[in-house]
A and B are shown apart, each in its own frame.
Chain A
Amino acid sequence: MKRRHSLASIALGGLALCGVVGLVLAAETLTQPGQQTDSAQGVKAPATTEDPAVARGRYVAIAGDCAACHTDPHQGKPFAGGYALQTPFGTLLASNITSDKNTGIGAWTEAEFTRAVREGKGRHGENLYPAMPYNAYVKVSDQDMHDLWAYMQTVPAVDNKVVSNQLPFPFNIRLMMMGWNLLFFDKTPIVPVASASAQINRGAYLVQGLGHCAACHTAKNFLGGDKGGAFLQGGELEGWHAPEITGNPAVGIGGWTPAQVVQYLKTSSNDVAVASGPMAEAVTNSTQHMTDDDLQAIAAYLQSLPGSDTAKAQPLAASDPVMQRGANVYSANCAACHNSDGKGINQLAAGFGNNPGVQAVNAQSLMTTVLQGGRGAVTLDNPTSGAMPSFAWKLSDEQVAATLTYIRNSWGNAAPAVTAKQVADTRKDLKLPAQLSIH
């Protein structure tokens, strides 16, 4: 198993990729811009005498993005829980996993902790819900679990009592998860593939396990389990479509260079895509802090997956009336940032040409972003990251549909048209206002 890097080399790697422009040394005491004492919520810069297991464990927690759920983004203390996860079955509140003995996991043993993370069993043997992605974390190695436990014990105790199970009847009956686990919980630990390189194996380990990418990027069946044969070929969640992230060149990331994949994960954007929506948090809290080697391994593994057989469609003709309407709306409303050539502004506004996310068969993310607006992930490298205003008040359903159809079929793109009805449904689901009437 590949050696994990100490936090010191992570911090250095992060700084090196900050893209620091040469500074004018007007003051001799200038430090590197972007240098932080806290790199993510709950993660403090290590003291030099720190136990190396704790340092490794902190990295495991970053890679696993525990903070994504267990730290409430609304001023919550690190890992103190309380964050409400909206699932298709109701609400769950993430638990308090600080070292508090009464309301956190301070009184747990390492074995209990490991069983919870990898087997989905609570302290008293009760079933956890797979909103906690134990079905991915089952792949985490013994060494990583041990280091993670060492780190979790150093997380400052926070007194915050959380009752996680807020699901309505009958989903609140944990015993029901027994059936779900039988159907969908594959407990086989990860086995390195002998014919693949160490890099690909490391990537597989990170993606299938700690990264739990399938939680969003794999479609779910009606019971909430992963659809068979659809690994990382795209999934839906709460008004977003998480695109296919396999090597498929049409709708996956097969057309990107490995460097583009790494740059996206490290800085929140490359010259084409900008991480926004639910992915923004994953970049800000997790992937931007991972080592270059690990990000390259993830890129290599993802691009090695053949993925779906979705091929590139035939683009709609530019003369099509919907395309012409879309072109008009685009030039008046979108071109200022996304440019008349669809190239956007590097690391500020997404480029559209040959953008796999833009060409996904499911256009949900596009509709949500246009109607609701969006915010690029903020990283140490890119504190601005760009943001997209809401257009719900300004554009009608027909205009949004035409514009998205135009974007999806221009500059080398080809994808199914977006209908006004789809836009209207999205507007309704997001509870956004109708276009301002013109009186």
Chain B
Amino acid sequence: MANVRPKADAVIVGLGWCGSLMAEELTRAGLNVVAIERGPWFETSTDFPPSVDTDELRWDTRRSMLLPPAIETTTFRNNRSQTALPTRDWSLNELGYNVGGSGTHWAGMAWRFLPFDFEPYSFTLKRYGKQQITEGLIVQDWGVSYDDLEPFYERFEKIAGVSGKAGVLNGQKIDGANIFEGNRKSEFPLPPLATTRLTDLFTDGSKKLGLHPFMVPAGQASQAYTNPLGVRMGPCTYCGYCLYYGCGNFSKSSPNACVIPALMQRSNFTVLTESAVLRATLAEDGKTATGVTYLDRNKKEWEQPADIVIFSAFQMQNVRLLLLSKIGKPYNPETREGVVGRAYSFQTVSGANLFFEDEQLNQYIGAGALSAQVDDYNGDNFDHTGKGFIGGAGILVVARGARPIGNADAVPPGTPRWGSEWKKAYTHAFQNGTFIFNQGTSFSHDECYLDLDPEYKDANGDPLIRVTFDYNENDRRMARFTEDRAVEIGKAMGAKIVNGFDSAAVNYGPYLPASDHTIGGAVMGLDPKTSVLNRYQQSWDVHNVFVLGASSFPNNAGYNPTSTIGALSLWTAKAIIDQYLGKRGPLVEVPA
């Protein structure tokens, strides 16, 4: 017999970026909101102050801030002819396990997607025709355009304190910034981060090739900042302990630094920590959810009744919650019917390893998003005619800081693995070794999907998510093309050794972390036959359920996803407040 909490106006599952942004909007609109977070409460000065931050072994090598696979993991196979097995070790699925979610440990790259990324089908059809789309590739429009989201990107960037320089500002292209970006109505809230030797080398090299380099928009405050919620951030100290680490300096954009201090002051907001939601509960007619069922930290089962249910639990878990709650029709890869679990994608990565001769990269300096990039080969920014693929990659260098354990293997090929030669190469590489990273688009395929594993279960007896995924031909062609571009840039930078690499040349595998951006499975769209959510991220089937996160993306852009996730969450919040509260029904009519 379950215990029952008092009813809330809205229950939010997972208090990361999406959950905290939604909670801030809804509580400010007067709703009584309960957030349920599986992980523990995090306090900057107690859990990750600067005095314990700079510990590579603890936070990076041992991933102390991430969700341990023992608590929940996925099973994996490349295709349906194989049997999926559990991913038992740290893998490319890097989920948060704390208040703040992955937003606490992320690198901070704060991108807007391109207009193309939201309407890839329309753009491709118009420019190249249907023949440009390879067999089985899933290419579909999202139902929202870049212009729809522009004001919400702006609000997210202001809340997060993003440092950058506008490249296209009110129709004007600005030299030295990203001239390929979607049109912005305002500047970034903070100026870009300072450049380093590495970003300078990349900028000079790519300019020589006629490309258009710029500093990447960064979720690290370039100076002291007060955001629209009154929250204070400190200036980044370029300490180099960013990705996988919390920021003790209040400098990295995170829910903990940017939203939660304001949120916790509101008497109409409650967060239950160390409480794991199992599923949503549905009314008898299945048309609405009545709330969620969760386990508290003593594994006691509770009900949290609510009028609105928000799933904001990270991409994998959102899909899992939908399947376990029986919301929406699961995807069947044989019949190609159903939608939940369909359109799963990733990130396609290639690039080049570089070793200079006599450089001083000073890689103890770093910040998660301290990078220079060219977008000339990203998205649809170049002519794909005759190339046999769509999409592209952001090509960048990453001055994220080098650390002793992680760099042990970052030596030129042929270096002995131990001894005095290794030591010499290791020392030399600290000032001379780096890489160019191509962060490429990823399109899904009819054969790639998520479902519930038939055999493996978690500690509560619920099936794990099974990932069936491999790179498709479209993305492999794109990776080879951009690998060659990276090699060109590396040579133009003056590197002595330039070795291209292509992660998509082999089968995808969870232990090959080309990237950690896991995308789709509960996608938004215009047609309930090919999407789980409508353009407001509202379930087509259960109108009081909204799903926030990268699970909504039908395809991945050549960028990191966080700002887009944040903008979409704010977009959905506005739809809930302005439209749903008065209507309490589907916001989009099902197309005939």
Judge if B229 is at the interface, Cβ distance under 8 Å.
yes
Question: Interface SS of chain A: helix, strand, loop or mixed?
Answer: loop
Q: Mark A193-233, 1 if CB is under 8 A from B, else 0.
A: 00000000000000000000000000000000000000000
Judge if A433 is at the interface, Cβ distance under 8 Å.
no
Among B46, B232, B574, the residue within 8 A (CB) of A347 is: B232
Would you call B228 and A385 a contact (CB within 8 A)? Answer: no
Q: Assuming the A-B contacts A37-B267, A345-B224, are A336 and B231 also in contact, with contact meaning beta carbons closer than 8 angstroms in the complex?
A: no
Closest Cβ of chain B: how far from A304's Cβ, in Å? 32
Judge if A94 is at the interface, Cβ distance under 8 Å.
no
Among B28, B45, B578, the residue within 8 A (CB) of A31 is: B28
Query: Contacts of B25 on A, CB cut-off 8 Å?
Result: 27
Count of chain A residues with Cβ under 8 Å from any Cβ of B?
40
Would you call A373 and B45 a contact (CB within 8 A)? Answer: yes
Would you call B228 and A21 a contact (CB within 8 A)? Answer: yes
Judge if B505 is at the interface, Cβ distance under 8 Å.
no
Q: Mark A2-43, 1 if CB is under 8 A from B, else 0.
A: 000000000000000011110110111111011011100000
Would you call B49 and A389 a contact (CB within 8 A)? Answer: yes
Judge if B158 is at the interface, Cβ distance under 8 Å.
yes
Q: Assuming the A-B contacts A24-B154, A27-B577, A346-B224, are A383 and B50 also in contact, with contact meaning beta carbons closer than 8 angstroms in the complex?
A: no
Segment touching B, from A53-61, A251-259, A295-303, A374-382: A374-382
Judge if A333 is at the interface, Cβ distance under 8 Å.
yes
Would you call A384 and B248 a contact (CB within 8 A)? Answer: no
Q: Assuming the A-B contacts A26-B152, A348-B250, are A383 and B231 also in contact, with contact meaning beta carbons closer than 8 angstroms in the complex?
A: yes
Judge if B316 is at the interface, Cβ distance under 8 Å.
no
Q: Assuming the A-B contacts A33-B229, A36-B266, A384-B261, are A391 and B51 also in contact, with contact meaning beta carbons closer than 8 angstroms in the complex?
A: yes
Judge if B262 is at the interface, Cβ distance under 8 Å.
yes
Would you call A381 and B151 a contact (CB within 8 A)? Answer: no
Among A27, A381, A386, the residue within 8 A (CB) of B250 is: A386
Judge if B44 is at the interface, Cβ distance under 8 Å.
yes
A31 and B27 alpha carbons, distance in the complex (Å): 11
Judge if A349 is at the interface, Cβ distance under 8 Å.
yes
Query: Contacts of A345 on B, CB cut-off 8 Å?
Result: 224, 232, 234-235, 250
Judge if B218 is at the interface, Cβ distance under 8 Å.
no
Judge if A434 is at the interface, Cβ distance under 8 Å.
no
Closest-by-CB residue of A relative to B262 is: A383
Closest-by-CB residue of A relative to B44 is: A387
A384 and B228 alpha carbons, distance in the complex (Å): 13
Q: Assuming the A-B contacts A37-B267, A336-B239, are A386 and B574 also in contact, with contact meaning beta carbons closer than 8 angstroms in the complex?
A: no
Query: Contacts of A237 on B, CB cut-off 8 Å?
Result: none
Would you call A337 and B234 a contact (CB within 8 A)? Answer: yes
A3 and B226 alpha carbons, distance in the complex (Å): 35
Q: Mark B137-169, 1 if CB is under 8 A from A, else 0.
A: 000000000000001101100100000000000
Query: Contacts of A38 on B, CB cut-off 8 Å?
Result: 267
Question: Which residue among A24, A27, A337, A384 has the maximum number of chain B CB atoms within 10 Å of its CB?
Answer: A384
Judge if B405 is at the interface, Cβ distance under 8 Å.
no
Would you call B249 and A24 a contact (CB within 8 A)? Answer: no
Q: Provide 28 A-B residue pairs closer than 8 Å at the C-beta atoms, listed in order of the A residue.
A: A21-B228, A24-B158, A24-B186, A26-B155, A26-B574, A27-B25, A27-B573, A27-B578, A28-B578, A29-B29, A36-B266, A38-B267, A333-B51, A336-B50, A345-B250, A348-B233, A348-B234, A375-B45, A378-B265, A383-B230, A383-B231, A383-B262, A383-B264, A385-B261, A386-B45, A386-B232, A386-B250, A389-B248
Which residues of B does A touch, CB under 8 Å? 25, 28-29, 43-46, 49-52, 151-152, 154-155, 158, 186, 224, 226-235, 237, 239, 248-250, 257, 261-262, 264-268, 570, 573-574, 577-578
